[in-house]
Amino acid sequence: MLIAHWTFDVDTVDGRRVADTAGAGPVAELNETAEIVPGREGEALSLGGNGRAVIPATPQLVLSQVFGFSVAFFVRVTEEPIGEWRSLVYKPVAENDARGLGLWLYPDAMRLRVQLFTVKGPDYADSRARLTVGEWTHIAFVVDTTGMFLYLNGRLDVAVPLEHAVVTPAGPIYLGSEPTKPGFGGLMDDFRVYASALDEEAVRSLADYQGS
């Protein structure tokens, strides 16, 4: 079930605020260096360095492993590795907490690391495939009671079983830079949050989506 969707198209933007198009979800707040620019189809979110969009924590965005959840988006990274971790998406357990759900680019490679924090500590999954600088990639991160699954361009790239319960990430969502890490340089588009675990067919359909 789709619970929030930010297209970043110009008709959803009011100054530095971007509306959720899926319903009554929270407004994403852009900081002073994030911009809305031409994207894949329509507009996209442009980020780099300290650029970020922050989606406030709300009850509808409390993601439960019991029911499953998914996040999906397109990204176009425009810079080579910079020698440190670069954040794409981060959702802590609570405000100002260092634990939670995260997706980062490796310091020395165009590979992804995804993280969930469990009752026994963090669990990680590292992508086998590499992103290509300057090209759009669709990313989907799916979680259910059995494990976490990372899809790239509609195909399952890596699956990792979860032996311990996930600590529910109930904090705000950071797109781009987070409080303790710089963000990636590039564009993000069509950011979606689901209160269910998407199957491969659903992920493939999103990866093939050409609308705005």
pLDDT (tens digit per residue) in 170-181 = 999 999 999 888
**One-letter amino acid identity for 59?**
P
pLDDT (tens digit per residue) in 91-147 = 999 888 878 999 999 999 999 999 999 999 999 999 999 999 999 999 999 999 999
pTM metric for this prediction? 0.95
Question: How far from 202 is each of 110, 146, 208, CA to CA, in Å?
Answer: 25, 18, 10
Give 199's contacts (C-beta < 8 A, 6+ positions apart).
none
> What SS3 class is residue 203?
helix
User: Does the structure show a pLDDT above 60 at 77?
Assistant: yes
Question: How far from 13 is each of 21, 58, 80, CA to CA, in Å?
Answer: 11, 20, 29
pLDDT given at position 49: 85
Can you list the domains of the chain with their CATH numbers?
Answer: 2-207 (2.60.120.200)
Neighbours of 196 (CB within 10 A): 15
pLDDT given at position 211: 52
Query: And the tokens for 207?
Result: 């990866």
Instruction: Calculate mean pLDDT across residues 18-32.
Output: 91
Host H or E run for residue 198:
none
Tokens 């009671």 belong to which residue? 145
pLDDT band at 212; cut points 50, 70, 90: very low
Question: How far from 177 is each of 11, 31, 129, 162, CA to CA, in Å?
Answer: 25, 10, 23, 27
Residues in the chain: 212
d(CA 144, CA 58): 21
DSSP state of 60: G
